Amino acid sequence: MMNADNNLVNYLLHLADTTLILSQRNSEWCGHGPVLEQDIALTNIALDLLGQSRNFYQYAAIVSGNNHTEDTLAYLRTEREYKNLLLTEQPNGDWAQTILRQYLFSQFQYLYFEQLQYSADTQIAAITAKALKEIKYHVRWSSEWVIRLGDGTEESKVRMNAAIITLWPYTGEMFMPASYEQTIAFRGIGYDCSELKEIWQQKVKTIFEEATLIVPEKVFMQTGGKNGTHTENMGYILTELQYVQRAYPNCEW
Amino acid sequence: MQDEIKNITAILETVSDPEIPVLSVTDMGIIREVKMNGDSVEVIITPTYTGCPAMDMIAMNIRLALIEKGYRNVIITSVLSPAWTTDWMTESGKQKLKAYGIAPPQTPSGIPSDGTIACPQCHSTNTRCISEFGSTACKALYQCNDCKEPFDYFKCH
Ligand SMILES: [Zn+2]
């Protein structure tokens, strides 16, 4: 049997895990949103992200060989095997923190998928080109909320600033490629994420300025998610996400 | 064989979208191609939205409809590229949507500015967007300022 393309599998899992975990976090809001329309907006975004992650898992399962399916990859891997961005696993906190997490990620994801739609791998190109149409809405919705909260009431601004302090240290990782990412980028399948740092910062700065918020400078950046070293949040997320398959192995409905 | 494919296309026109039952899967532009290979039929479909939860059900309904008409070997293949667009929705599909109370997608893509989408009830364009995210991934929530009815707008995609 031919050896599976491990770098490609790891890369696909990184993309799949990142979208799955943010989807899982957003869906925790289901039924708890501040108003019905926003509850629906966030769960719609969760659904889009879940769809993207399924596409990446299905493809990862094919590439890996090993009898994997999208379900075994999502439900039966441990914390150290998950390769999602640390940003996506951060708690929902309040509405400001959820909004800011979504904006910082969507703004990055849009720029990143804009490049991946030209991937030499036709499946990655197809998945990302399709997802871009949806991400455009996520960026618009979340950036409008960042502006509304930042340039809103005294209270909403305090909360936005607190969210920035909490989440900013997890943004650096988006632009630091793991070794499998570097290999995949070199092969024309992925893209060097470090190239997007400047334009992402510019985009965020424009929105923050409109929101009368300040972009932090010289913050120590946390890393590790891409290689399976997570914050303490991750175990709790997987406990809930994987509970049914762990408690009743192979159950189906 | 052309007749056979015509026959299959006619059957597909009877398979409705589970979320918008007035539209068939052909109206939606989900069917990309029908292929015959000996006695096996391959129907190539494409999802509307990446996370559309109706796709599995649509694939199953297509299979059932064809089996019911005597086709034994039915293969449903889902492709992502080129990405689905509301441009593939048929004209009659758009009319059916409107009659059902959902404002059909308008070009150009994106969320149109307030005052451009016609209310499916009273046809006034004095309408506004309440939320870009509606009851399903493909819809936005609007309200008519004249007759006050809230309505769904099928987003241009
Ligand atoms: Zn009206």
pLDDT digits (tens, 9 = 90+) for B12-38: 999 999 989 999 999 999 999 999 988
Task: Decide if pLDDT at A2 tops 60.
Answer: no
pLDDT of B39? 87
Taking an 8 Å cut-off on Cβ atoms, the answer to whether A126 and B50 are in contact is: no
Query: What does the DSSP 8-state code read for residue B108?
Result: S
CA–CA separation, B155 and B133 (whole Å): 9
A contacts of B79 (beta carbons < 8 Å): 126
Residue given tokens 């946390």 in the structure block? A222
A33 versus A85: the higher-pLDDT residue is A85
ipTM of the complex: 0.86
pLDDT of B115? 76
Mean pLDDT of B131-143: 89
Among candidates A60, A44, A61, A150, which has minimal Cα distance to A106? A44
Q: How many CB atoms lie within 10 A of CB A193?
A: 22
pLDDT digits (tens, 9 = 90+) for A148-183: 999 999 999 999 999 999 999 999 999 999 999 999
pLDDT digits (tens, 9 = 90+) for B36-67: 988 899 999 999 988 888 899 999 999 999 99
Across all residues in chain A, what is the average pLDDT?
A: 96
Q: How far is CA A141 from CA A37, A44, A112, B111, in A?
A: 12, 11, 18, 11
Query: Do the beta carbons of residue B81 and residue A125 sit within 8 Å?
Result: yes
Tell me the domains of chain A and their CATH numbers: 3-247 (1.20.1260.10)
Mean pLDDT of A62-77: 94
A1 pLDDT band, cuts 50/70/90, is very low
Q: Which residues contact A232 (CB under 8 A, 6 or more apart)?
A: none
B114 versus B108: the higher-pLDDT residue is B114
Q: How far is the CA of B143 from the centre of ligand 1 (A)?
A: 8
CA–CA separation, A241 and B130 (whole Å): 32
Mean pLDDT of B110-134: 86
Q: How many CB atoms lie within 10 A of CB A241?
A: 17
pLDDT of A80? 98
B137 versus B151: the higher-pLDDT residue is B151
SS (H, E, C) B46-62: CCCCCCCCCHHHHHHHH
How close does chain B come to A185, measured CA to CA in Å?
22
* Residue of chain A whose alpha carbon sits nearest to that of B52: A51
Query: Do the beta carbons of residue A50 and residue A134 sit within 8 Å?
Result: no
SS3 call for A39: helix
Q: How far is CA A17 from CA A11, A23, B71, in A?
A: 10, 10, 39
Determine what percent of chain A falls in helix, strand and coil, rounding each to the nearest 5: 70, 0, 30
From the list B80, B84, B134, which residue is nearest A55 (CB)? B80
Where do the CATH 3.30.300.130 domains begin and end in chain B?
A: 2-84
pLDDT digits (tens, 9 = 90+) for A120-142: 999 999 999 999 999 999 999 99
Query: Do the beta carbons of residue A88 and residue A101 sit within 8 Å?
Result: yes
Task: Decide if pLDDT at B130 tops 80.
Answer: yes
Q: Which residues contact A248 (CB under 8 A, 6 or more apart)?
A: none
Residue given tokens 């997802």 in the structure block? A131
Q: How far is the CA of A42 from the centre of ligand 1 (A)?
A: 27
Q: Which residues contact B150 (CB under 8 A, 6 or more apart)?
A: B130, B141, B142, B143, B144
Across all residues in chain B, what is the average pLDDT?
A: 91
Q: Which amino acid is at A2?
A: M
pLDDT of B135? 83
Taking an 8 Å cut-off on Cβ atoms, the answer to whether A40 and B79 are in contact is: no
Taking an 8 Å cut-off on Cβ atoms, the answer to whether A129 and B52 are in contact is: no
Task: Decide if pLDDT at B111 tops 70.
Answer: no
The domain at B2-84 falls in which architecture? 2-Layer Sandwich (3.30)
pLDDT of B109? 59
